[in-house]
Amino acid sequence: MVRGGRVLLDSGDLVAADVGIQGGRIVALGVDLVDEADEVVDARGRFVLPGAVDPHVHFGNTMPFADEMALDTGSALLGGVTTIGCFLRSTVPYSPELGALVAAVRERSQVDVFFHLQVFGQEQIDDLETCAREFGIDSFKFYLSGIPGIVGSVDEATLLAGMREARRISSSAVVAVHCENAALIAAARSGEARSDDEPALVAWERRHPALAEVVAIETAAALAQTAGVRLYVVHISSADGMAHVRELQRRGVDVVGETTSIYLAEQSDSPNGLLVKQAPPIRDAANRRALWQGVRDGTVSTIGTDNTARSLSSKNPDGGLDGSKPGLPMLGAHVAAVLHTGVHEQGLPLAEVWHRLSRGPAEVFGLYPRKGSTNLGADADLVLVDLDEHRVVDPAQLGSFADFSPLQGRTLRGWPTTTIKGGMVVAADGVLTGRARGAYLRRELSREGR
Amino acid sequence: MVRGGRVLLDSGDLVAADVGIQGGRIVALGVDLVDEADEVVDARGRFVLPGAVDPHVHFGNTMPFADEMALDTGSALLGGVTTIGCFLRSTVPYSPELGALVAAVRERSQVDVFFHLQVFGQEQIDDLETCAREFGIDSFKFYLSGIPGIVGSVDEATLLAGMREARRISSSAVVAVHCENAALIAAARSGEARSDDEPALVAWERRHPALAEVVAIETAAALAQTAGVRLYVVHISSADGMAHVRELQRRGVDVVGETTSIYLAEQSDSPNGLLVKQAPPIRDAANRRALWQGVRDGTVSTIGTDNTARSLSSKNPDGGLDGSKPGLPMLGAHVAAVLHTGVHEQGLPLAEVWHRLSRGPAEVFGLYPRKGSTNLGADADLVLVDLDEHRVVDPAQLGSFADFSPLQGRTLRGWPTTTIKGGMVVAADGVLTGRARGAYLRRELSREGR
Amino acid sequence: MVRGGRVLLDSGDLVAADVGIQGGRIVALGVDLVDEADEVVDARGRFVLPGAVDPHVHFGNTMPFADEMALDTGSALLGGVTTIGCFLRSTVPYSPELGALVAAVRERSQVDVFFHLQVFGQEQIDDLETCAREFGIDSFKFYLSGIPGIVGSVDEATLLAGMREARRISSSAVVAVHCENAALIAAARSGEARSDDEPALVAWERRHPALAEVVAIETAAALAQTAGVRLYVVHISSADGMAHVRELQRRGVDVVGETTSIYLAEQSDSPNGLLVKQAPPIRDAANRRALWQGVRDGTVSTIGTDNTARSLSSKNPDGGLDGSKPGLPMLGAHVAAVLHTGVHEQGLPLAEVWHRLSRGPAEVFGLYPRKGSTNLGADADLVLVDLDEHRVVDPAQLGSFADFSPLQGRTLRGWPTTTIKGGMVVAADGVLTGRARGAYLRRELSREGR
Amino acid sequence: MVRGGRVLLDSGDLVAADVGIQGGRIVALGVDLVDEADEVVDARGRFVLPGAVDPHVHFGNTMPFADEMALDTGSALLGGVTTIGCFLRSTVPYSPELGALVAAVRERSQVDVFFHLQVFGQEQIDDLETCAREFGIDSFKFYLSGIPGIVGSVDEATLLAGMREARRISSSAVVAVHCENAALIAAARSGEARSDDEPALVAWERRHPALAEVVAIETAAALAQTAGVRLYVVHISSADGMAHVRELQRRGVDVVGETTSIYLAEQSDSPNGLLVKQAPPIRDAANRRALWQGVRDGTVSTIGTDNTARSLSSKNPDGGLDGSKPGLPMLGAHVAAVLHTGVHEQGLPLAEVWHRLSRGPAEVFGLYPRKGSTNLGADADLVLVDLDEHRVVDPAQLGSFADFSPLQGRTLRGWPTTTIKGGMVVAADGVLTGRARGAYLRRELSREGR
Ligand SMILES: [Zn+2]
Ligand SMILES: [Zn+2]
Ligand SMILES: [Zn+2]
Ligand SMILES: [Zn+2]
Ligand SMILES: [Zn+2]
Ligand SMILES: [Zn+2]
Ligand SMILES: [Zn+2]
Ligand SMILES: [Zn+2]
């Protein structure tokens, strides 16, 4: 039982209440509930929130997938994240490998996990139905522009074929697209020389112009409309991109917007320089403001991390614009970064901000009301938050194998203090308190019309 | 404690749960809550809903206000209504009388009551601030067209003056307007002769053309916009009226739409004939469909009764179009009429329908989340509903002094089976089970900008 | 032949050209047309425009209709107006008198004339069809608020009955409505006392609040929609009124907007004080700006005079707010007032401004392309305009029996220098050059759907 | 002088009038103009229209540019086309060659000509300013998808660079884009096998899916918005493409729509089979209807030919889907095809249809009111049309070197009977009546903001 906190109900209300838990599920909500519980968590002075659901995680970048998952899901728990959506990356069909990956989740993950499959070719597309049926996966991701040396891309025809197959497999399928236009980025890269005193992040921003995002969003949206599938625009990074997603939604196109915590919290004038290098790039203050506007008005349904952890030596920030690598660890600071900027800086209601961190992603990916909820019957994944705790971001305290953070040195206000998963306290006061066992989350396919 | 039902949470979800009650308030929601309660209500097979809030009741029509209130709030409880908004009617300032009326509520009402003041002149307008401050009243009603021999009306200038004063008193004030244009009705009344075989209700409908409603809605809306006050259009009765309210909302005008249970449940081809005479009139099938469309798309926020009980002899249905009286008792059949038509006939989700019966009115009149809610902390006013119970409407079972019902003889599906007020069972299986005590509900004035 | 000017073509272009005339009609447009004409008008340095069509004139206010028409249509010609729409006023059926009135036009008017019938009761409505058939009249006018002591009004039911009859008579009928709400004006009149130093026109403005216009516009529009007839809102005077007409048009309601030259040219801070008293009133600068915005964006289709001439002694400006009379002579200064403010002050293109003065009214009232046009075949009613002539408004030069002008003493830039009617020069350099003969203009009724 | 016809005035009116001509220009319009003319053309029973302006012509496909121009501008004159916009094609900078091309126009063209430059790379972009300044060219064209073996394409970055340069050169620049997405077409080409009995045109239609057009339109529009330049979408071929252009216009994006006469007149069930092969393809009946809808509602401003003449042997219709070539001669049948389908089949007013054939293109490319006009001062390029003439399309009568027509064998109703260029009759009754001399049309650049 969690006693004495202010609980975020699914109605959006924050009420003083106790939460009763049994068999890993929430079974009671009440004022001064009768206490028969084995264990009581004192939540006085805390907000009691459904665990964060991070829909956008990459593991296996610089070490084996299962090993990184085993390590960094601990960082997730410390950071208040209890469920993650992992993007798998392969260039061959996934179904032969999925059994082993599901087993790895069950054996080694500390949070619950669902999979998105990243798709690069027709052979993989032909295999999606098997993956969907056998492993309950109906979200897929395509890159309209790859990341040179890291990840490939597909052309419009392959994306269309993938979208059509996704829709055929499940009427509730979600097709995520990394929206950048390759030609515009290539041209921007080869463009005019950078002045000596220009900050590296600003130069990087110019290499990934917002227009590249816009063109790709419009392309993906036209294809998705033809295929009749829901489009999920990952990591919207620019004001223009946000405006186009908003306009598409207004026209009734089924597009869901995601942005990420690092875009919402950082700008290209960050003192951490290339530690914050990411693709698409962190942009300037006006773009950051526009992303928050997208959160505020509902254009954005989910906030993810795009967590792509690496060690400082692999990040190589001293390598300059070309030698340094994109990708950064965010699971441990995700919640704090969003609370600090969303609630304290932007003045949004906690309930609104948290919706994008938890219930929003759960709904989009078919996990609600099991996840993202404090309703009776929901999984007892809860985070206790102290909205006034000030803490300096210190990579050593974030629990990742990554020995840096893009936010390191910043004082953030608003941190998780206790994380409960399946009814058990798994992290408290910055320490993992017991080995949590993650579950693999199958999703239901839908055969009906939408 | 209410055990084993399907509870309508404020999130809109219907979940299997028990409801714990203490001190007249809801203190727990849970699956198999530990039982320390003195009293357990068995809700298996029932929906457990927040008590209906009827925003539109007239007492004192044919007997003294307090006497009618004492009698017919029992009918309300049998019908699942636990809170009512009473329209007071006088042509002199209200403040001298309000103390006595509040006392009457406390002594004699069986449900909780809040007041709306019906305003007919400047002297009353000058007194509104006193009423608001001393008695927590910030909703007022004006008639743009009266009902001959029953109630007077105001001209546009008086309505504007009243709206301005309401807004000055409280930025959250609500100005209800009976929207009919007097000249159009007078002309319709004196219009061409009625054919012998035309049903009386159809002739009555012609005497109150929809255009009269439309013109008055537009007039009231223009005045309300100028005054900066919220307009509450009572008892929308026609497709055209609904369309105009919808368009005003679309343009951002602050207009709230109300319709009534009898408009939603009956048509001018009713076999009950002049028993269903009402002003504005019950209209034909196409209008009824349009009213449900307004419920469906959110143009309508509240469903009231416009309860105006009278005895059959006072109703005088044999008096013909001119000899019979408008006004009818609806508290006892209100919930059943809306469930029957809304859920079973129209196929709307129970949660959507109930919102208009309970939380909607509570929000509009500043009573939520005390009323209209099953959240922790809400008043423990609950109704248990059997959505499949079929019952023939029988005036003798509805608990009113009125010895007829406009729906008499119809079989309705979906009835309240138990009513709980302040944590006590006050009605069960069609019988009042104990003398409930109603509270007078003061409302907070708001001095801030909107 | 008119030679050497810049001709306003129906395409909206202004081109250097000669205009050939034969039999009272335009028969040629050309550069250096071969000259066989009896008479050549030198238009070098002038714009050659279709004669102004003033849709809104009242004669017979202080002297007999035919006498005033005989006199003041000379003022019209001097002012560049060659066709007028006259509002007839009676409280009994018109058809018995129309023959005589048509004859009066033919004998005594100096401009072409069409009639609108002002309607005050059912007996007149019953007579409209006869008037329409026999005299080709399908425009009618109703007052929702009268002018105390001068003109009566109708209620909404009578207006609706009139609109329905108009629509039945002719699918192209136009129903003009004087839009003010009587109750709001009455209340404003009886409102708080006027401070001593408040200018009389400002006090007068407060007595006719814009809201009165708005409420009446919405009322008239709802009725017109029901009747399926075109609504013509005369003399829009306020920013709010304009906004409501614009919104109605946007929603597809068939509403045509008129404003008048005096509203476009004057403000309530005029040094001429009560000489500019009019109902609705001349308003402040912000309202005047909004009226021009309505011209600019097309909300306004026509600019009229609302000419209601009277002598200075009848106007009685020294009589104060209550003793002075509304109504003012405008025919002589109409064109100059609009050119001065529209072209020179507001910077609108001449073609746009002139459209509202000539082709706009001709189209609305079924006279185009006979009037309002320089197309081949149009009546040869032409005005030569010197857009740079500066002249002080002097009642003595305006040709009216009225011995004042609301604009007297103002220097206006842009005056008609020559007026041609039916191919004959009838006014030049401020002098009538020959007795022009006016025609009575019958209009076609339309029986088809719209 | 052209006497006795019905002249299309710039106002949109069709009036009985004579047209006086002097010095190659229109100098008079009149009824029974005095006749001093050397030559009188009898236009009784004919419509007299400004010569068609075809904005979209390709010369030099299978023979040298100047040779083809010399031949086929005769076909244009027979067909009623007096001005054409020629797309030049080269892969190197144009400025060195433009002098010779302009000279070729002056020496060998029979119609007036303006140039659009087709751009394929940065070197050409760098040369555009020289072309613009020296030769008055500010319209350019880019292919987002080429035509394999015929014409190349550019990527999004090059298109953006070209658009920015165009905008920099002239604020009134027009950037035309061939909108198809290469990947979607390539995929469609390699798609499932064609059944034996499927008509060749239907199979060809499947190879160029409408979605390819849609994606490219959205891409081009996003780029054009960023560059701030006007986008001209050439040859819209599909219902979906039209819908997207309409929506972009509605959102205020500066996009002009073009379609072509062959798309408006033919369908993929044509008995002429691969003679009608074109890229984008001729589509089915539903698409053709949607294109006419785009004409009707103004989404389409111009109708061109996309004339790309070739001999029957070069067309090679027996070569099957892969062996036959796209491209077809249309100048001679252009006007007849549009009149037949637009006026007689679709029931559009002649003035509306002709606007898209003449004034529309003239306005878009800065040639109005010199071209596309019958206003005084316009070039005396006129076409006399017999709207009721029925004629079977016969390649031998169309005046082209091409020995086939995509419409051959069809009976069209509505043909030009006489063509006048610069005041001289150059074609009459299907025969060229004198060697017309074409002018080269420079256009003004605009340096101002738009
Ligand atoms: Zn990505
Ligand atoms: Zn990612
Ligand atoms: Zn009422
Ligand atoms: Zn009522
Ligand atoms: Zn008036
Ligand atoms: Zn008037
Ligand atoms: Zn092309
Ligand atoms: Zn082309």
Q: Of all helices (H) and strands (E), which one includes residue D426?
A: strand D424-428
Distance CA D398, CA B60 (A): 91
ipTM of the complex in this document:
0.84
For position C449, what pLDDT does the model report?
A: 47
pLDDT band at D32 (very low <50, low <70, confident <90, very high): confident
CB neighbours of C154 closer than 8 A, spacing ≥ 6? Answer: C119, C120, C121, C142, C143, C144, C162
Other Cβ atoms within 10 Å of D431 Cβ, number: 9
DSSP helix/strand/coil, C168: helix
Element (H, E) at A53: strand A52-58
CB-based burial of residue C219 (10 Å sphere; 0-12 exposed, 13-18 middle, 19+ buried)? buried
Q: Which chains touch A (3 or more CB pairs under 8 A)?
A: B, D
**Strands, E assignment, A119-247:** 139-143, 174-178, 230-233
**pLDDT level of residue D450 (50, 70, 90 thresholds):** very low
Q: Give pLDDT, residue D34.
A: 75
Token digits for B38? 């003195």
List CB contacts (< 8 A) between C17 and chain D. Answer: 376
pLDDT of A24 reads: 95
- Rounded to a whole number, what is the distance in Å from the CA of D225 to chain A's nearest CA? 10
pLDDT bracket for residue D149 (50, 70, 90): confident
Residue ranges of C 361-420 with Cβ closer than 8 A to chain D: 369, 375-377
**What is the predicted pLDDT for the residue at D100?**
97
Q: Going by DSSP bridges, is the β-strand pair C81-89/C112-118 parallel, antiparallel, or unpaired?
A: parallel
Of B9, B5, B4, B2, the closest CA to residue B376 belongs to: B9
- In chain D, residues with a C-beta closer than 8 Å to the C-beta of A224 are none
Residues in chain C closer than 8 A to D380 (CB atoms): none
Cα A181 to middle of ligand 1, angstroms: 12
Average pLDDT, chain C: 95
Q: CB of A99 within 8 Å of any CB in chain B?
A: no
Report d(CA D427, CA D432) in Å as an integer: 4
Q: Which C positions 224-283 lie with beta carbon below 8 A of chain B?
A: 226, 244, 247, 251
How far is the centre of ligand 1, averaged over its atoms, from the C-alpha of A402 (Å)?
20
Q: Taking CA atoms, what residue in A is nearest to B31?
A: A27
Cβ contacts of C29 on chain D, cutoff 8 Å? 28-30, 376
- Partner-chain contact B11 A375, CB within 8 Å: yes
Confidence tier at C450 by pLDDT (50, 70, 90): very low
Output the pLDDT for position B416: 98
User: What per-residue confidence (pLDDT) applies to A169?
Assistant: 96
Cβ neighbours for B342, distance < 8 A, ≥ 6 positions apart: B264, B292, B295, B348, B352, B353
Written as six digits, the tokens of D174 are: 């027009």
Q: Please state, in angstroms and rounded to a whole number, the distance separating the CA atoms of residues A311 and D230.
A: 48
- What tokens were used for A250? 């207004």
Question: Nearest C-alpha of chain B: how many angstroms from C218?
Answer: 6
User: Min CA distance, B77 vs chain A (Å)?
Assistant: 27
The answer, yes or no, to whether residue B122 has pLDDT greater than 60, is yes
At A278, which amino acid appears? Q
pLDDT at B337 over 50: yes
Whether D187 sits inside 8 A of A161 (CB atoms) is yes
Residues of chain A in contact with residue B36, where contact means CB-CB under 8 angstroms, are 34
Where does the pLDDT of residue B449 fall: very low under 50, low under 70, confident under 90, or very high at 90 and above? very low
Contacts B32 to A, Cβ<8 Å: 27
Of the listed ligands, the closest to the CA of D56 is 8
Please state whether at least 3 CB pairs lie below 8 Å between chains C and D: yes
How many angstroms separate the CA atoms of C8 and C349, rounded?
12
- Written as six digits, the tokens of C367 are 């006279």
Distances (CA, A) of A376 to A33, B21, B354, C200: 14, 17, 21, 71
C chain contacts of residue B156, beta-carbon cutoff 8 Å: 181, 183-184, 215
Whose tokens are 């929000």? That residue is B363
Q: What is the predicted pLDDT for the residue at C153?
A: 93
For the segment C402-432, what is each residue's pLDDT rounded down to a tens digit?
999 999 999 999 999 999 999 999 999 999 9
Residues D420-433 have pLDDT tens digits of 999 999 999 999 99
Distance of alpha carbon A181 from alpha carbon A203, whole angstroms: 18
| Residue B450 clears pLDDT 50, i.e. is over it | no
pLDDT confidence band for A196 (50 / 70 / 90):
confident
Ligand sitting nearest the alpha carbon of D180: 7
Return the residue in C184, C192, C229 with the most chain B beta carbons within 10 A, the one to mutate for interface testing.
C184
Contacts of residue B1, Cβ cutoff 8 Å, sequence gap at least 6: B18, B19, B20, B21, B33, B35, B37, B39, B40, B41
Q: Indicate the angle between helix axes B239-250 and B210-227, nearest 10 degrees.
A: 20
Residues at Cβ < 5 Å from ligand 3 ion: B 178
Query: Please, which pLDDT band fits residue C192 given cuts at 50, 70 and 90?
Result: low
Cα of C69 from ligand 5 centre, angstroms:
19
Q: Cβ(C177)–Cβ(C216) under 8 Å?
A: yes
pLDDT range class, residue B448, cuts 50, 70, 90: low
pLDDT in tens, B216-243: 999 999 999 999 999 999 999 999 999 9
D327 within 8 A of D310, measured Cβ to Cβ: yes
- Would you call A145 an interface residue with chain D, using a CB distance cutoff of 8 Å? no
- Ligand 7 mean position, distance from CA A244 (Å): 27
CA distance A338 to chain D (A): 31
List the one residue out of D142, D109, D281 whose CA is nearest residue D208.
D281
Instruction: Judge whether C352 is closer than 8 Å to chain B, CB to CB.
Output: no
Q: Which residues of D241-255 are buried (b: 16+ CB within 10 A; e: fewer)?
A: bbbbbbbbbeeeebb
CA of D49 to the centre of ligand 1 (A): 57
What token pair was written down for C146?
């009268």
Q: Is the dihedral of CA C286, C287, C292, C296 positive or negative?
A: positive
Mean pLDDT of B129-137: 98
Q: Of the candidates A199, A341, A173, A162, which has an alpha carbon nearest to the alpha carbon of residue A256? A: A173
CB contact under 8 A, D33 and C28: yes
Tell me what the pLDDT averaged over chain B comes to: 95
Q: What's C115's DSSP letter?
A: E
With contacts defined as CB-CB under 8 Å, which chain D residues touch A158?
183, 187
Kindly state the tokens that stand for C219: 């009322």
Position A436 scores a pLDDT of: 85
Q: Tally the C-alpha atoms within 13 A of residue C65's C-alpha that lie toward its C-beta.
A: 18
- C101-116 pLDDT, tens per residue? 999 999 999 999 999 9
Residue in the structure block whose two tokens are 């002003």 = B279
Q: Using CA atoms, how far apart are residues B81 and B399, in angstroms rounded to an integer?
A: 13
**pLDDT at residue D327 above 50?**
yes
SS3 state at B72:
helix
Check if the beta carbon of residue A215 is closer than 8 Å to that of residue A241: no
Identify the band that residue B32 occupies on the pLDDT scale cut at 50, 70 and 90. confident
Set out the domains of chain C in order of their start, with CATH numbers: 51-369+399-405 (3.20.20.140)
Distance from CA of A243 to the nearest CA of D (A): 12
Ligand 6 centroid to residue C49 C-alpha, Å: 26
Q: Which residue of B has its CA nearest to A34?
A: B34
- pLDDT surpassing 80 at residue A311: yes
By C-alpha distance, the chain D residue nearest C35 is: D34
